[in-house]
């Protein structure tokens, strides 16, 4: 059954800091665009129940990307391409 304006959906409320009932207040192409928390009446963009990343998580992701960037920068990309060619046997020559 398609969702309609005013229907209830579960979504993560940043004010309540948990999954709560939300009423759909705005829709885009049969999907909730904006919802209002039924507990605290806070309106927000519908995020399908996904909690926003905390500041701690953002910092962690930043650090992770830094480490990832420095790790890949020093390695030659060609190293991984060498081995498959060597293990390949030459094709058998056709006889007359």
What are the phi and psi torsion angles at 21 (to 5°)?
A: -75, 135
CA separation for the pair 24, 4 (Å, rounded) = 7
38 belongs to the binding site for Zn ion (CB under 5 A)? no
Q: Which residue number, 7 or 44, has a Cβ lying nearer to Zn ion?
A: 44
Task: Figure out which of the listed residues 13, 24, 27, 35 binds Zn ion, where binding follows CB under 5 A.
Answer: 13
39 belongs to the binding site for Zn ion (CB under 5 A)? yes
Closest distance of CB 8 from Zn ion, Å: 13
Q: Which residues bind Zn ion (CB under 5 A)?
A: 13, 15-16, 37, 39-40, 42
């Amino acid at each position: 059954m398609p969702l309609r304006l005013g229907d209830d959906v579960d979504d993560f409320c940043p004010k309540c800091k948990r999954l709560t009932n939300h009423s759909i207040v705005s829709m885009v192409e049969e999907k909730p665009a904006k919802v209002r928390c039924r507990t605290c009446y806070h309106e927000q963009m519908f995020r399908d129940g996904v909690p926003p990343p905390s500041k701690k998580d953002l910092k962690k992701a930043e650090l992770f990307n830094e480490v990832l960037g420095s790790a890949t920068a020093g390695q030659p990309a060609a190293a991984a391409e060498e081995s498959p060619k060597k293990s390949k046997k030459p094709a058998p020559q056709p006889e007359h």
